[in-house]
Amino acid sequence: MATTAITTPSLANIYWKETKYELLRSLRLRVYTFSVIGFPVMFYILFGLFITRGQTLSNLSASTYLLATYGTFGIMGASLFGTAGALSAERGLGWLQVKRASPMPPIAYFTAKIVKGVIFSIVVVLCLMALGIAFGNVHIAFFTALKLILILAAGSLPFCAMGLAIGYFAGPNSAPSVINMIYLPLSFCSGLWVPFMFLPKFLQQLAHFLPSYHVSQLALGVIGAGRNESNWIHWTALWIFTALCIAVALYGERRDEGKLYG
């Protein structure tokens, strides 16, 4: 057996290398690391640790409450920039074609982008948590912290799907501004910066249609500051949103195949 020629490459090896290099590549890309980790950290330090110092929200220290909402803000950026940013550039500037011409399984390419989005999301949440525990008034049990990390990691998946959809329709140069135009208003309207209860009534109603609202409510639920809505509603909304984004991304993929390339 050992002497027969290998006729297919090891799939596990491909997925591993694709993901490893995607992570390495992004880590070395300072624009990505700085904006994806730097922004939420800066915001959390400013609003979560200084401005609201000593205040309470939903019977929690403000720094604990805002850990969940800025955490949601953080995973959105990591996921959207990690998928949409890379995909639009590689698709628009020809690199994706070189990969598609090779025997690379296409799913490996997308998996690597998604895994990267999730891993960076976890890193962002860990950074915020460490800051909150060290310098803010954050007191959470180990298992609550773990659950918060897992919920936010899962919550990054709908945004990775959204990123792939954006990546198929935004040009390589316009992608970053498109992402900002979507995710900054989304964050505000879901109560990620200004807590939900301080938002005007019409925004509170609008928020129910936003994926970021549902992720943040799941996260707040973990630390006991949710709005007493059923988690089932949040998960269903997120599933529907994810499915829609995947459908749009697949449509974009089809559209690309028949399109003029040079």
Partner 1 sequence: MIAEMHAGDTLIQKHSQDPRPLAARLRGVSKSYGNVQALRQVDFSVRQGELIALLGPNGAGKTTAVKLFLGLSAPDTGTVSVFGGNPKNSATRMRTGAMLQVAKVPETMRVREHIDLFRSYYPNPLPMQETLSIAGVGDIQERLFGDLSGGQRQRVLFALALCGDPDLIFLDEPTVGMDVEARRVLWEQIRRLVARGKTVLLTTHYLEEADALADRVAVINKGQIIAEGTPAEIKTRTCGQKIRCITRVPVEEIREIPGVLTVTTDREALEIRAAAAELVLRELFLRDTTLRGLEVTNAGLEEAFLALTAENETK
Q: Using alpha carbons, list the distances in angstroms from residue 127 to 91, 135, 250.
A: 32, 12, 34
**Burial bucket for residue 232 (CB in 10 Å: 0-12, 13-18, 19+):** exposed
Candidates 18, 41, 128, 234; binder of partner 1 (CB under 8 A) is 18
| Range 168-190 burial, b when 16+ CB lie within 10 A, else e | bbbebeebbebbeebbeebbbbb
Q: How far apart are CA 73 and CA 38, in angstroms?
A: 12
Shortest Cβ distance from residue 10 to partner 1 (Å)?
Answer: 8
Q: Which stretch binds partner 1 (CB under 8 A): 63-71, 100-108, 118-126, 241-249?
A: 100-108
Candidates 45, 104, 123, 154; binder of partner 1 (CB under 8 A) is 104
Please tell me whether residue 54 binds partner 1 under the rule CB under 8 A. Answer: no
Please tell me whether residue 2 binds partner 1 under the rule CB under 8 A. Answer: no
Please tell me whether residue 103 binds partner 1 under the rule CB under 8 A. Answer: yes
* Amino acid identity at 19: T
Candidates 58, 97, 180, 204; binder of partner 1 (CB under 8 A) is 97
Please tell me whether residue 87 binds partner 1 under the rule CB under 8 A. Answer: no
Partnered with residue 57 across adjacent β-strands are 60
Candidates 3, 7, 59, 228; binder of partner 1 (CB under 8 A) is 7
> Under DSSP, is residue 133 helix (H, G, I), strand (E, B) or coil?
helix
Largest CA distance in the chain: 71
Among positions 139-178, residues that touch partner 1 (CB under 8 A) are 172
Please tell me whether residue 6 binds partner 1 under the rule CB under 8 A. Answer: yes
Shortest Cβ distance from residue 167 to partner 1 (Å)?
Answer: 15
Q: How far apart are CA 38 and CA 138, in angstroms?
A: 20
Q: How far apart are CA 138 and CA 112, in angstroms?
A: 33
Candidates 42, 46, 50, 95; binder of partner 1 (CB under 8 A) is 95
Candidates 3, 4, 13, 228; binder of partner 1 (CB under 8 A) is 13
In this complex, which beta carbon is closest to partner 1, that of residue 18 or of residue 136? Answer: 18
E strands present in the chain? 56-57, 60-61
Residues making contact with partner 1 (CB under 8 A): 5-10, 13-14, 17-18, 21, 24-26, 28-29, 89-90, 93-95, 97-98, 100-105, 172, 257-262
